[in-house]
Amino acid sequence: MSDHMRSAQRARALDRLASPRGVIAGAAVDHRDALQAVLAKRGMQLDDAGITELKVRVASALAPAATMILLDAEYSVAQTIAAGAVPGSTGIVVPLEAMGYGDVARVAQTQFLEGWSAAKARRLGASGAKLLLPYRADVADQAERQEGVVRTAVAACREAGLALIVEPIVYKREGEERAGGERFAELVVQGARRLAALEPDVLKMQYPGSATACEELDAAVGRSIPWVLLGGGASGFIVGRTLFDAGLVTDPDESRRALVSHSRPLLERLAAIAEALATPWRERVGVLPQPPREWYRTA
């Protein structure tokens, strides 16, 4: 384990994303191409300004009930901060990748968003960065390329003082009825084991399908890295469009009412469950060593 994994820098970054108890209740509003696809199916053709307005509305409803919120650099992070939509008590995480979920099955290697960086996210006030990673341990050449991307992101986030959340996605290959087929749970666990060795700060994992598989996932991640479920779990959860789907309607007032009456209470209920049942990240990692008195001379 590297010194970073038990450093004060990492501890503080994770504290900013979690509740006082150390549990993550995250809302993901960083969707880009996938959101556009959903809106198009509902007959909602929004230009860039319309997408930003929608995301500010969603963030205003959800951020006060979340310990952290995922916001994209293109449409929402600076705009929601300017609008006062995210309270100071809610951590901000910004994705580093150039694409969204809609491309996940076609990406040979994740590309970083041009003109964006972990350092810029930190200057804007983010506490963390996220890296979406189409990843299958059974596709050796792609897995190796993607691990190289993770190493680059890990180094950039440590330099910037951000917590890095890595989100590996087992995608569907040709001939499979569903992603990973019968090996889905196995691939989720294998991916967690390999990526944990690269020492991201948090892993955001797909639900592997059963309580037994979650136990295997927990063991594969190891004790030094908290993991959250893409929908609920271990040291917390980070949930996306499921939370704010009710607010994706044409009329802004109707959208706002749905977000307040449905989406935010749903997030509050999920957060309460996680707070009661999840393992706080500090409990998972263990007691951090106290730095020596003159640590600052070599920091």
pLDDT of amino acid 225: 94
Q: What is the pTM of this model?
A: 0.93
Cα 247 from Cα 1, distance rounded (Å): 43
> Tokens for 229?
């479920």
Distances (CA, A) of 109 to 74, 106, 120: 21, 9, 23
Q: What is the rounded distance in angstroms from the CA atom of residue 124 to the CA atom of residue 128?
A: 11
Strand partners, 133: 168
**What local confidence, expressed as pLDDT, does residue 103 receive?**
59
- Using left for φ > 0, alpha for ψ between -120 and 50, and beta otherwise, residue 134 falls in beta
Compute the average pLDDT of residues 261-282.
95
Q: Which domains are seen in the chain, by residue range?
A: 3-284 (3.20.20.70)
% of the chain surpassing 70 pLDDT: 95
Write the pLDDT tens digit of every residue in 103-112. 566 778 999 9
Residue with tokens 């020492």: 199
What digits encode the pLDDT tens for the residues 55-113?
999 999 999 999 999 999 999 999 999 999 999 999 999 999 997 556 566 778 999 99
Q: What residues does 150 pair with on adjacent strands? A: none
3-class secondary-structure state, position 244: helix
The structure tokens listed for 251 are: 């009329």
Q: How far apart are CA 135 and CA 145, in angstroms?
A: 10
Confidence of residue 3 (pLDDT cuts 50, 70, 90): confident
What's the confidence (pLDDT) of residue 140? 93
Mean pLDDT of the chain: 92
- Tens digits of residue pLDDT in 117-171: 999 999 999 999 999 999 999 999 999 999 999 999 999 999 999 999 999 999 9
